[in-house]
Amino acid sequence: MSILIAGNGIAGNETAFRLRSLNPDIPITILSAESSAEYDPCSLPYYVSGEMVREAVFRKSMEDYARQRIDLRLDQTIVSIDRSRKIATTGNGELIPFSKLVLAMGGSVFVPPIAGADKRGVFQCKQLSDADALASRTGSRAVVIGSGAIGIEAAEALLKKGFHVSIIELMDWIAPVLFDADTANRFASAMEARGVAVYTREKVLAIAGDKDVCSVKTDQREIPCDTVVLATGVVPHAAIARDAGLAVGKGIVVNAFMQSSDPDIYACGDCVETVDACTGETAMYQLKHNALEQARVAAAHIAGKPLPYRGAYAFARLHFLDIHAVTFGKTQRSTACELGQLEIIEKASDTGDYLRVIVKDGMVAGGQAMGAYANEIGLWMGAMWRKDPIREIRNLPYRYYGRSVGRPWTQRRLAQYLDAA
């Protein structure tokens, strides 16, 4: 029995090291498209801004692999899979046999068909090599194209490096997958107050310049700049799986044990399509906690100690300097095409705190919060998971804290929120 893992990111490493802890003898090989030990992609913006030294981004050293007898092969990609012979071919033509293959190849930045996207001075902020290039970049004006979590973090890092930063979003508001308009507009205003120019509903037409970038042209303006960061979404690396005849939807389709449509080929992390743990609906949330859990499930199944996957969690945190926001579950927009009754609970303070809870058919379906309300978002998440009927919570006597109340304090606290909403 031999295990081959494609991808040395969060999911690939967790699979390998978890599997080693469950089975001391099984031969494990990781093929890595990159040239270093595992690092944490979430930390890259802090390295770019100069707040963290490069060494601090690493989660493993090369010695860790050796100590656990994991054969890490750097700068080697898997390019195709012969499923009938159980052989993977690498980019340099090597044929590697496997008993079980784990596809943990993450995703790559979607590069929109913008003229000039290949000019010098255009960067991404996805991998360590991107962060190396951005960390050493000197300049004065940067444009970030795309306002998802990575775009916002890249904008913050560049601002801290002393750049004048603009961020451009094609859709009606920033972070459109994570936020509804009201939350997004508050977050964008706070970003603007901290020195970033935010442009929404604006289409980038071209990145201009001779060899080096000198401006970004949109359908509404031209922004002079020396640095551009593409943060236009992450597309899963699923082409190899599709070519091998595996089922692929938005990402590689897996079952509750992270097996693809071929039971000897597993997949986990940003390259898979799975289900939402709360609703059971098809989901693809490209987040670290999901990648880690999926990898543990794959490792357990390979080791013969199956542990079914409950599904992915839609929970993300966004921050910009001192502003922080959280989002969980569905947005109002993502529920727009569903049947059912929708209610929005909102609370706002003069100091920029904001809470927005999406209630569908009398139960919490999602929420977004900024500032102080973000600290208590767990209360609403709990209500979503328990499927608390909001009508009942509204009627709870929260002002009376005697033992006879007979409800957990979390629900009484929610009643307090609802009374004031």
Ligand X SMILES: Cc1cc2nc3c(=O)[nH]c(=O)nc-3n(C[C@H](O)[C@H](O)[C@H](O)COP(=O)(O)OP(=O)(O)OC[C@H]3O[C@@H](n4cnc5c(N)ncnc54)[C@H](O)[C@@H]3O)c2cc1C
Residues that bind ligand X (CB under 6 A): 6-12, 31-34, 41-42, 44-45, 77-78, 104-106, 125-126, 149-150, 153, 237, 240, 269-270, 286-289, 291
Q: Which residues of 13-44 are buried (b: 16+ CB within 10 A; e: fewer)?
A: bbbbbbbbeebeebebbbbbbbebbbbbbebb
Q: How far is the CB of 130 from ligand X (least distance, A)?
A: 8
Q: In what order do the strands lie in the sheet with 272-275?
A: 252-253, 272-275, 282-283
CB nearer ligand X, residue 7 or residue 366:
7
CB nearer ligand X, residue 223 or residue 291:
291
Structure-token pair, residue 381: 């998440």
User: Exposed, middle or buried, 257 (CB in 10 Å: 0-12/13-18/19+)?
Assistant: middle
CB nearer ligand X, residue 153 or residue 202:
153
Contacts of 300 (CB under 8 A, 6+ apart): 18, 22, 306, 307
- Angstrom CA distances, 259 to 10, 50, 239, 256, stand at 18, 40, 17, 7
Any alpha helices (H) in 51-97, and if so which ranges?
62-67
CB nearer ligand X, residue 17 or residue 417:
17
Q: How far is the CB of 220 from ligand X (least distance, A)?
A: 28
CB nearer ligand X, residue 244 or residue 357:
244
The rounded radius of gyration (Å) of the Cα atoms in the chain is 23
Q: How far is the CB of 40 from ligand X (least distance, A)?
A: 7
CB nearer ligand X, residue 169 or residue 270:
270
Structure-token pair, residue 351: 């100091």
Q: How far is the CB of 407 from ligand X (least distance, A)?
A: 32
Q: How far is the CB of 9 from ligand X (least distance, A)?
A: 2
CB nearer ligand X, residue 7 or residue 176:
7
Q: How far is the CB of 126 from ligand X (least distance, A)?
A: 5
Nearest C-alpha neighbor of 109 from the set 232, 253, 272, 285? 232
Q: How far is the CB of 233 from ligand X (least distance, A)?
A: 11
